[in-house]
Amino acid sequence: MSVAQKNSDFEIAFGEVLDISTSDVLHSELTAALREHKAIALCAGAVERVDAAAMQILTAAHLAAEQQEKTLVWNSVSAALAEAAARLGLTQILNLDSYNISCKRIEQADPPITAT
């Protein structure tokens, strides 16, 4: 994860993995950014793996930004992150509606075995 400041914009770029192992850093970076900046851009195009812990932190950051009248925008979003948001029902809260990743239902390959 890296942070950059360009003019008055603040950007956080995520690496390939957003999971429980990176949750402390993710939380710290987002908290500091919200404390110090009015508008934060999130770059998640490189994310290949994301878990529920990271999604919870991203959701909390979006809700905090809304309460503080600050802005979190996505500069890029990977299919992995958009799909995780869709599966968890967080697409709208995270403002990912425009990324339109549909959550596919997993069908059973074989019918269930029943006792006779």
How far apart CA 40 and CA 30 sit, in angstroms, is: 9
Residue with tokens 């990176």: 22
User: The tokens of 42 are what?
Assistant: 């999130």
Q: What is the pTM of this model?
A: 0.79
- Vertex 28: Cα angle to 22 and 29 (nearest 5): 90
Residue partners of 8: CB distance under 8 A and separation at least 6: 39
**What pLDDT score does 7 carry?**
40
All domains of the chain, ordered by start, with CATH? Answer: 2-99 (3.30.750.24)
Instruction: Identify the segments of the chain with pLDDT beneath 50.
Output: 2, 7-8, 100-110
Identify which of 57, 8, 51, 48 has the alpha carbon closest to the alpha carbon of residue 29: 57
**What pLDDT score does 97 carry?**
84
